[in-house]
Amino acid sequence: MNNNIIEVKNLGKKYTINHHRGNYVALRDVLTAIIKRPLFFLKKKAKEIAGIDTKEDFWALKDVSFNIEPGEVVGVIGRNGAGKSTLLKILTGITPPTTGEIKMKGKVASLLEVGTGFHPELTGRENIFLNGAILGMTKREILRNFDSIVKFAEIEKFLDTPVKYYSSGMYVRLAFSVASHMEPDVLLVDEVLAVGDTEFQKKCLGKMEEVTNKQGRTILFVSHNLSAIKRLCKKTILLEKGMVKMFDTTEKVIGHYLSISTQNAVNNFEFDQNKKAQVTRVSIKNKNDNFNSQIPIEEKFYIEIDFEVLKQTKAILSILFFSEGDILLLSSESDKDATIREYLPGKYKTKVTVPSHLFNVGMYFFEIRIHRPGVELIDFKQNINFEIKDSNDNPHSIIFNGEHSGKIATILDYQTKKIND
């Protein structure tokens, strides 16, 4: 009898491509297809039944196995599409696996989003009960923690106001507060900290730390935020193309991850019909307008953002630059004039110029956001990376021998005069 609290064995998840894209079909189309080409349809059905279907399969997860002991806090990292979210969705039971088995001991709770099921018409008090129940708390648990939830969220005065009148800050605070009062043995957490402002993220991280340290809970934490992973998790799983690439101490895994990250200059993103605006493609171009994500330090480069607006909205496009999880720079299109643009439906392309010598030699990540600061995060795409390279004709590297330290490489102007005789 082993001691593992989570056992994952040979887990696999297969999507046929049309499921995976999230496309749904219209019955009308299916019917017309049958009427127009009945033989073709029959043949296709027969093939499907016989299993010699031509549909393309896609394994989002393949042969994933790992064990986690009680009280461990384990991070899960990987590039977009590596299977992180799929793994979490299977662990939480939202979608069943195609192969393999998972055993988890004790009460399992998941937190894939804060405020799931919040209803704008209901009051704060009512939403605490509703959200709590959806998250799997019993009425008794909610009642026991009620005062503490209200206190942490700091909404005492607005307890009986419908949440549609709440500021976005209050809304998120309440949502997180309910979620953080879950009392499971195993907690599965996804990207929750991606919402809210930096201040709030700090508060959440603090609370998460408290939860992990004090109560000895087992937590699986999926995130792009490497600094959060570093802070919270002792061990980390690195997923790559649906498989476990590495499972070791966080330090080792993050180090490895940063070093192997492939250099993709063009990043395409899946289209989501439900978002009113979204980034569809982000590419990195060098000074000659060629796709390249390895940029010599002395050259400027461009970030090209393609986005599509489906519903008219006010929004700002922002880029957050990270290095090992710390924010280096938050840059917005509104930085110059401090106004929020009104975007009409349509396709847009933005070209951002990043000056030379801004970042020092090294690996950087950035995140694109379409948002209304403090109001709503419409879309965000994370984990796009580029590398600043040292090159031979860089005069600085001659002097510093490539050992120029720090993250920023801006060249400052030095004017020295001799002022005594």
In the complex, the residues that contact another protein under the rule CB under 8 A are 5, 15, 19-20, 22-28, 30, 89-108, 110, 112-113, 116-117, 119, 121-122, 126, 129-130, 133-136, 138-139, 162, 185
User: Distance from CA of residue 378 to its chain's centroid?
Assistant: 13
Q: Which is nearer to another protein, 142 or 319 (CB)?
A: 142
Q: Which is nearer to another protein, 116 or 331 (CB)?
A: 116
**DSSP class of 94:** S
What are residue 288's phi and psi, to 5 degrees? -90, 10
Q: Which is nearer to another protein, 126 or 306 (CB)?
A: 126
Smallest gap from Cβ 25 to another protein, in A, equals 6
**DSSP class of 98:** S
Q: Is 127 helix (H, G, I), strand (E, B) or coil?
A: helix
Whole-angstrom distance, CA of residue 173 vs CA of residue 117: 15
Smallest gap from Cβ 133 to another protein, in A, equals 4
Q: What angle do CA 257, 260, 264 make, to 5 degrees?
A: 110
Smallest gap from Cβ 160 to another protein, in A, equals 13
Q: Residue 94: left if φ>0, alpha if ψ -120 to 50, beta else—which one?
A: alpha
Smallest gap from Cβ 18 to another protein, in A, equals 9
Greatest Cα-to-Cα distance within the chain, rounded to the nearest angstrom: 100
Q: Which is nearer to another protein, 3 or 401 (CB)?
A: 3
Report the relative pairing of strands 313-323 and 326-332 from DSSP bridges.
Answer: antiparallel
Whole-angstrom distance, CA of residue 92 vs CA of residue 86: 10
Smallest gap from Cβ 105 to another protein, in A, equals 5
Smallest gap from Cβ 234 to another protein, in A, equals 21
Smallest gap from Cβ 117 to another protein, in A, equals 5
Q: Which is nearer to another protein, 70 or 362 (CB)?
A: 70
Within 135-280, where are the H helices? Answer: 139-153, 168-180, 198-215, 226-232, 250-260
Smallest gap from Cβ 143 to another protein, in A, equals 12
Whole-angstrom distance, CA of residue 312 vs CA of residue 310: 7
Q: Which is nearer to another protein, 8 or 409 (CB)?
A: 8
**DSSP class of 336:** T
Q: Which is nearer to another protein, 113 or 304 (CB)?
A: 113
Whole-angstrom distance, CA of residue 346 vs CA of residue 313: 11
220 has which bridge partners?
74, 188
Q: Which is nearer to another protein, 83 or 296 (CB)?
A: 83
